[in-house]
Structure 1
Amino acid sequence: MTTLGNPATAPAGVVAIVRLRTAPPDAIRTALEDAGVPALEITLTTPGAEAAIARWRAAGGAAAVGAGTVRTPDEARRAVRAGAQFLVTPTTSAAVLETAGEAGVPVLCGALTPTEIDTAWRLGAAAVKVFPVDAVGGPAYVRAVQAPLPDIPLVPTGGVDAAAARSYAALGCHAVGVGGHLVSDRVTATGDFDGLRARAAALTGAWQAGAAQHAGGTP
């Protein structure tokens, strides 16, 4: 028996990916939330990720806080204990999806090919992270995948900037995952949180413009 995901529980819009070589400062959360970013993903490869998830959840901001690069059931359980409101995986893992399902936490499940995307959805992904989308054609690839799989909410991830975010929103994608274009080690090294806020605002604005274009029937 298949189990289909519930897109209503998946973060929509811009998902900011926080992948750093050092523990993430709280100023990153503040800048992203100020810019209207609705979801913050802290990858478990980032030092102090679980502590940051717990701290950012406790801050009570408007953005959902989740854990990324979740590859094993143990990592899923640790992230949930830290307070993650959603999980993001780089690959399709039935064990991770089952563990998250038992905890009632939605998963943006990584996949690339049509077979992988359909499999992730049927295993219970709340939405499917198409990664690395920039390596296989970007919006053109997503448009091709949507034709046979129109019911699956897609989250293109990889090489997403403001222009790409608008294109994906215009195609009717559920969300986009944005990493290095927003949060990088340079931001933490220089303390350029105003620049981060400006880039995040441009991205959310581009997404909203694309979503309005899609709503108007002009992808």
Structure 2
Amino acid sequence: MASLPVSGPSITGVVAIVRLRGTAAPDALVDALVDGGVTFLEVTATTPGACATIERWRRRRPEARVGMGTVRTPDDARAAISAGAHFLVTPTTVPGVLAVAGEHGVPVACGALTPTEIDQAWRLGADVVKVFPVASVGGPDYLRAVRDPLPEVPLLPTGGVDRGNIRAYASAGAVGVGVGSSLVSEHAVVGEHWDDLRARARSFVDAWKETADA
């Protein structure tokens, strides 16, 4: 078993989750998100051309941190790292993924839900624990309850996060939030609604900062 992490969380603030089913992520999307202030971008492995997207976006917007999500196996981790992923995000806690990431010095946000799972992910070496799907078990109230006995574990609630509850998650002590379709919807991407996406990104970032920095 790995020792407890000693450094602070490396994945913080608003993390945009890019999960597309029928199309590869265009470069105009990363421009809209980064111009809106979102600099942590998770491209899921199930999005068409995910590795190629990570490679391009790293070059296009070097100020952004581009990671791969839905990493479930050591081979997934190796492919993401080869593509240049700055970080990995998993739906569950897989020791083999953590081992590969550790060999390359790449931070991981491991998915977990119950207090036991969250504590185990942290002890196995997760840099951040993605509490998923958080909305199904109580949202901000659940996060606050988990933080009481596990105050040193950095938590990244994901699943059902939107502009209506992001302040509550910040107030509950989250180090960041994973935001999916309420920020990056397939409809908006296919329709090339870049101004709307940029404005959405800015609204999420502003809401997070005004509470987390208070």
Structure 2 vs 1, CA of residues 39 and 192 (structure 1 numbering), >3 Å: closer, same or farther?
A: same
The answer to whether structure 1 residue 116 and structure 2 residue 111 are counterparts is: no
Structure-2 separation of matches of 1:203 and 1:63? 16
User: Could you say which residue in structure 1 is the equivalent of 2:32?
Assistant: 31
How high is the TM-score relative to the length of structure 1?
Answer: 0.94
Stretches of 4+ aligned residues off by more than 3 angstroms: 6-9
Structure-1 separation of matches of 2:99 and 2:175? 22
Pairing of 1:39-50 with structure 2 (within 5 A)? 39-50=40-51
C-alpha contact (below 8 Å) 1:14/1:203 kept by paired residues: yes
| 1:10-58 Cα shifts (integer Å, max 9, x gaps) | 2210000000011000111001000111200000000000000000011
Structure-2 separation of matches of 1:82 and 1:6? 27
Deviation of 1:9 after TM superposition, in Å, equals: 5.2
Deviation of 1:2 after TM superposition, in Å, equals: 3.8
- Give the SS at the match of 1:14: strand
Structure-2 separation of matches of 1:118 and 1:41? 23
C-alpha contact (below 8 Å) 1:76/1:99 kept by paired residues: yes
User: Could you say which residue in structure 2 is the equivalent of 1:216?
Assistant: none
C-alpha contact (below 8 Å) 1:31/1:194 kept by paired residues: yes
Identity of aligned residues (%): 60
C-alpha contact (below 8 Å) 1:6/1:127 kept by paired residues: no
- Give the SS at the match of 1:96: helix
Equivalent residue pairs, number: 213
- Give the SS at the match of 1:79: helix
User: Could you say which residue in structure 1 is the equivalent of 2:78?
Assistant: 77
- Give the SS at the match of 1:158: coil
C-alpha contact (below 8 Å) 1:162/1:207 kept by paired residues: no
C-alpha contact (below 8 Å) 2:31/2:61 kept by paired residues: no
User: Could you say which residue in structure 2 is the equivalent of 1:164?
Assistant: 165
C-alpha contact (below 8 Å) 1:89/1:109 kept by paired residues: yes
- Give the SS at the match of 1:71: coil
- Give the SS at the match of 1:16: strand
Structure-2 separation of matches of 1:54 and 1:130? 27
The answer to whether structure 1 residue 182 and structure 2 residue 202 are counterparts is: no
Residue segments in structure 2 that go unaligned for 5+ positions in a row: none
- Give the SS at the match of 1:99: helix
How high is the TM-score relative to the length of structure 2?
Answer: 0.96
Structure-2 separation of matches of 1:152 and 1:49? 29
Query: In structure 1, what residue type is equivalent to 2:18?
Result: V
User: Could you say which residue in structure 2 is the equivalent of 1:68?
Assistant: 69
- Give the SS at the match of 1:140: helix
Deviation of 1:6 after TM superposition, in Å, equals: 5.0
C-alpha contact (below 8 Å) 1:92/1:111 kept by paired residues: yes
Structure 2 vs 1, CA of residues 48 and 139 (structure 1 numbering), >3 Å: closer, same or farther?
A: same
Residue segments in structure 1 that go unaligned for 5+ positions in a row: 214-219
Structure-1 separation of matches of 2:99 and 2:148? 28
Structure 2 vs 1, CA of residues 51 and 6 (structure 1 numbering), >3 Å: closer, same or farther?
A: farther
| 1:165-207 Cα shifts (integer Å, max 9, x gaps) | 2111122211100000011110122111111111111100010
Structure-1 separation of matches of 2:43 and 2:170? 23
C-alpha contact (below 8 Å) 2:141/2:172 kept by paired residues: no
User: Could you say which residue in structure 1 is the equivalent of 2:103?
Assistant: 102
Query: In structure 2, what residue type is equivalent to 1:43?
Result: T
User: Could you say which residue in structure 2 is the equivalent of 1:17?
Assistant: 17
Structure-2 separation of matches of 1:163 and 1:153? 22
